[in-house]
Amino acid sequence: MTSATARLTAAGAALLLPLLAGCSPESSAPTGSSSQPTAEASASPSSSRAGVEGQAAAQLEAQFTALERRRGGRLGVYALDTGSDRSLSHRGDERFAMASTVKVLAVAALLDRLSAADLGRRLRWTSGDLVAHSPVTERFVDRGMTIRQLIDASLTRSDNTAANLLFEQVGGPTTVGDFVAAAGDDITSVDRREPALNDWAPGETRDTSTPRALGGTLATLVRGDVLEPADRLVLERAMRDSVTGAGLVRAGVPDGFVVEDKSGTARYGVRNDVAIVRPPGGRAPWILAVMTSHETADAEPDDELVAAATRIVVQALRSPG
């Protein structure tokens, strides 16, 4: 744990710069589907082939666009096969609210700072510290929980009080944002605690990211040396045990695939899932970020939009490159 900032910056930049090419902090679009999305599939950044052109790319874009029209939402997708470095995206550089997917970043930042012994330290809080959706921490006000238990509560049950306690331990949202930036991601904005970070509206940039940036940062955490192997294992196991995204990426992969994910929900029908997808047969994992929103503040989140987008990704990444 506690990897050096210089190492973190170098590792993050090496992995993320190719993934974030073309992004800008101001990248944004309305919640509707009227802007012109693009779908691209690319080889490794070092390859002379910048992208898959012609029929394959056109078919991919048509599938995502048809899905948006059918479900009535705005859909952002970024997927990366870490074995081949093939990637694809749809609205990959548009901003979406992160919602509770930010908990992955908060936990990663905390793991980077703490020792294994620190994870056994018990934290305590009062009933006055509890916020909405705290299904685990509300039962442990009298006894408290260890940091490791709070990590599990935050990622497996999306417990908001647990997330806020972890934010406090790491130094607040700003510190998490600094960690993400040091990992090479200057797009993702981490600004508020739970549940305020879910108070999103079109045009808001606080607590937002793009599918490419969020997925790219997860790829950096999984592939690089930003986190020590033991820390990666803590993060991945907690994401594997998550119970909040059963209808999302997990619902879109075939039998035999293993998914480690973190979901998120916010106003304007925001429903997101960021995931490590492990194909069968020992293949290298895929990284997938699916982010969605709708046009009205009271719109219902659409799990099937995320699951259907995942099916398109699976079909594309399983096809020969």
Burial of 15 (0-12, 13-18, 19+ CB in 10 A): buried
Instruction: Tell me the domain boundaries of the chain.
Output: 64-318
d(CA 83, CA 80): 9
Given a contact cutoff of 8 angstroms between Cβ atoms, the answer to whether 290 and 76 are in contact is yes
pTM listed for this prediction: 0.87
What is the structure's pLDDT at 39? 60
What is the structure's pLDDT at 51? 40
| CATH, range 64-318 | 3.40.710.10
Mark whether 295 is an active-site residue.
no
Cβ-based neighbours of 43, under 8 Å, separated by 6 or more: 49, 50, 51, 52, 84, 85, 86, 321
Per-residue pLDDT of the chain (321 residues; tens, 9 = 90+): 654 444 444 444 444 444 443 333 333 444 444 444 556 554 333 322 234 445 777 889 999 999 999 999 999 999 999 999 999 999 999 999 999 999 999 999 999 999 999 999 999 999 999 999 999 999 999 999 999 999 999 999 999 999 999 999 999 999 999 999 999 999 999 999 999 999 999 999 999 999 999 999 999 999 989 999 999 999 999 999 999 999 999 999 999 999 999 999 999 999 999 999 999 999 999 999 999 999 999 999 999 999 999 999 999 999 876
Mark whether 94 is an active-site residue.
no
Single out the catalytic residue among 61, 68, 194, 236. Answer: 194
Given a contact cutoff of 8 angstroms between Cβ atoms, the answer to whether 27 and 38 are in contact is no
What is the structure's pLDDT at 24? 35
